[in-house]
């Protein structure tokens, strides 16, 4: 797909970060875009940003939890009504949350919530929208995994089990889907996106999307963690969105985002057996 003009796109998690920037860039290229999120406030901000840049752009927003099939079905029906369509061309299964790091110290509820949003959200997005992609003449499903989809760690002292499991699932599923599509819907392509560290609101948004309220101490820690996460990131969400959309235009199926992601991919491939030992981290810049 080398051009997004007049294409119909669905973006999950379009109220912040990379999802928001994908919505903005698609809209600026003349696509008709439906964005969903847990946060209507975030979605309204996305729409306002699009309207500032392109007052004629067609963007609709919808509150939906991607871990709920019925929410996604309602979104699908809203997309078909709003754009008077029986197909979509692009699906960005982008929504995801962190959390559920340890099997010992994280609650089972938070572990399962992370897995549910981050993996099931992608799976259900495909379940609900693949028939509409197959009904198009040209389709692309773009599933956001992470560097944690090929490397299940964020450091030797921080367990990261739920998120890594979900992101490995997204990557494995998308790679297997390519053969399924080639046989059953060859006009639809699939891509897996593996960002490195990108400056977004994921820490703050995870707090809102997780089960239960954080204690005041946890909230204070998370606010500081959000600031550090955003400031330390080498790439903006807008730059990441451009790399993702360029990858789609170039018909790529494997989209690494950021020099840190490219470097980690090379180092894990070169040193698979030692990748989870403390020394491995000294190999990373």
Catalytic residue numbers?
163
Q: Which is nearer to ligand NAD, 37 or 247 (CB)?
A: 37
Query: Long-range contacts made by residues 178-184, C-beta under 8 angstroms, separation at least 24?
Result: 178/253, 184/134
Q: At what angle do helices 202-209 and 216-232 cross, to 10 degrees?
A: 150
Residues belonging to the chain = 285
Q: How far is the CB of 186 from ligand NAD (least distance, A)?
A: 27
Nearer to ligand NAD, 15 or 247 (CB): 15
C-alpha 149/C-alpha 174 separation (Å) is 11
Burial status of residue 183 (CB atoms within 10 A of its CB: 0-12, 13-18, 19 or more):
exposed
Q: Applying CB under 6 A, which residues contact ligand NAD?
A: 12-13, 15-19, 36-39, 42, 64-67, 94-97, 117, 121, 144, 146, 195, 197-198, 200-202, 205, 209, 237
Over its C-alpha atoms, the chain yields an Rg (Å, rounded) of: 18
Closest approach of ligand NAD to the CB of residue 209, in Å: 4
* Other CB atoms within 10 Å distance of the CB of residue 168: 18
DSSP assignment, residue 213?
P
Helix, strand or coil, per DSSP, at residue 101: coil
Tell me 148's DSSP state. G
């Amino acid at each position: 797909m080398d051009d997004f003009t007049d294409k119909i796109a669905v973006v999950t998690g379009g109220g912040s970060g990379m999802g928001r920037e994908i919505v903005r860039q698609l809209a600026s290229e003349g696509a008709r875009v439906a964005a969903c999120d847990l946060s209507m406030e975030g979605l309204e901000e996305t729409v306002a940003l699009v309207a500032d840049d392109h007052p004629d752009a067609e963007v609709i927003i919808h509150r939906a939890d991607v871990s709920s099939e019925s929410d996604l079905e309602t979104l699908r029906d809203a997309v078909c009504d709003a754009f008077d369509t029986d197909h979509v061309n692009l699906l960005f299964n982008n929504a995801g949350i962190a959390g559920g790091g340890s099997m010992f110290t994280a609650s089972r509820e938070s572990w399962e919530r992370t897995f549910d949003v981050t993996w099931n959200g992608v799976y259900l997005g495909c379940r609900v929208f693949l028939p509409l992609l197959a009904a198009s003449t040209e389709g692309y499903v773009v599933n956001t995994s992470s560097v944690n989809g090929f490397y299940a760690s964020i450091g030797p002292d921080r367990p990261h089990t739920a998120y890594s499991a979900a992101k490995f699932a997204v990557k494995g599923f998308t790679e297997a889907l390519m053969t399924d599509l080639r046989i059953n819907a060859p006009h639809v392509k699939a891509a897996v996106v593996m960002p490195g560290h990108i400056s977004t609101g994921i820490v703050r948004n995870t707090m809102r999307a997780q089960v239960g309220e954080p204690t005041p101490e946890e909230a204070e820690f998370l606010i500081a963690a959000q600031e550090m996460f955003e400031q330390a990131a080498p790439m903006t969400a807008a730059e990441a969105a451009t790399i993702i959309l360029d990858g789609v235009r170039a018909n790529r199926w494997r989209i690494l985002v950021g020099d840190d992601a490219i470097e980690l991919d090379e180092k894990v491939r070169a040193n698979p057996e030692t990748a989870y030992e403390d020394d491995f981290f000294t190999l990373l810049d």
